[in-house]
Amino acid sequence: MIKSLILRAATTVLLGLMVLFSVFILFRGHNEPGGGFIGGLIASTAFALHSLSHGPRAMRRLMWVVPRTTVAAGLGLALVSGLLGFAGGGAFLASLWSPGGSVGSPLFFDIGVYLVVIGSVLTIVQALQEEDE
């Protein structure tokens, strides 16, 4: 844990902004650069920064889900979105779209990737910080 008043104050403000920006990048990624991987990295960086400034216990309190559970949920969502292609008579990971064409199985795949990246990075961050304690 880094004991800096400036870092603690900045992290308090930046955490919400970075998570909000990561969700924006996640949803923007279907038509322009971005998506689940980059959005997940931005969100996990926000939580890692919070953990560095406030300690690993504060990050565990802030996250209401264990990071490994997030990885499992993300993998499950990505797998289900891939299997939806079979339901439409296509191949694995074939895209299915809503009647309006705005929501489809690629969005759910990207959300799964987003959750996997957040969970795996935060699992690594927690393991490294707990080793230091």
State which residues of the chain have pLDDT below 50. Answer: none
pLDDT at 85: 82
* Domain that includes residue 43, residue range: 5-132
List, in sequence order, the alpha helices (H) in the chain.
Answer: 5-28, 36-54, 56-62, 67-87, 105-132
**pTM for the whole structure:** 0.89
d(CA 8, CA 74): 30
Q: How many domains does the chain have?
A: 1
pLDDT at 93: 84
